[in-house]
Amino acid sequence: MNFEEVPPATLPVQLTEEGIVVEYTDGREVFYRGVPDRVESPHTTTPGKDVHVLVTDGSETSGVLLYVNERRTEAEILEGTGVGRVLLSAGEESTLFPGVVVRGGNLRSEVAIEAEIEGRVFVFEEDQFVEDSYELVRRTE
């Protein structure tokens, strides 16, 4: 199996009252249900969940989608969809998008907005039972 990091492509995004739609480069779509809960950055993910991070551009009509520490999908499949992947060990850090970083942990990751960005940052956590979604907002000091 080929589990390596994959750079993301810019994908069409649609924010609706029912949730968020992301269109892959192969024409398929993924739908994240519900309006994300707004939480202050940084956000620490729940152990054992699949973590997806979506960063939209300023117009909120396109963005990049990345899987964090996902090790089930072949790199070639992700490349065909435009979805990126970052793989982190405990203590490692990666920039997902200018101003947005993820830090690795043993079972959890931390996603943080560290600079002003024009778009929005969404974190989706899911497993076979639950799908949670969050919108990160910068902490006001």
**pLDDT for position 141:** 57
In a domain, 2, yes or no: no
Those residues whose C-beta lies under 8 Å from the C-beta of residue 22, and which sit 6 or more positions away, are: 11, 12, 13, 29, 30, 32, 54, 63, 65
70 in any annotated domain? yes
Asked if the structure places residue 4 within a domain, the reply is: no
**81 belongs to a structural domain:** yes
Residue 65 lies in a domain: yes
Question: Domain range holding 125?
Answer: 11-137
What pLDDT, on a 0 to 100 scale, did the predictor assign at position 139?
75
Would you state the pLDDT for residue 2? Answer: 66
CATH assignment at residue 91: 2.60.40
Tallying the residues shown for the chain, one arrives at 141
CA 124/CA 79 separation, integer angstroms: 20
DSSP state letters, 119-141: S-EEEEEE-SS-EEEEEEEPPP-
- Tens-level pLDDT at each residue, the chain (141 residues): 667 999 999 999 999 999 999 999 999 999 999 999 999 999 999 998 999 999 999 999 999 999 999 989 999 999 999 999 999 998 999 999 999 999 987 789 999 999 989 999 999 999 999 999 999 998 765
Query: What local confidence, expressed as pLDDT, does residue 98 receive?
Result: 94
Whether residue 17 is contained in a domain is answered as yes
Distance set, CA 113 to CA 1, 85, 92 (Å): 32, 18, 16
Predicted pLDDT of residue 1: 63
Residue 6 domain flag:
no
Q: 107 phi and psi, to 5 degrees?
A: -120, -15
On whether residue 3 sits in a domain, the answer given is: no
pLDDT at 3: 78
> What is the number of structural domains in the chain?
1
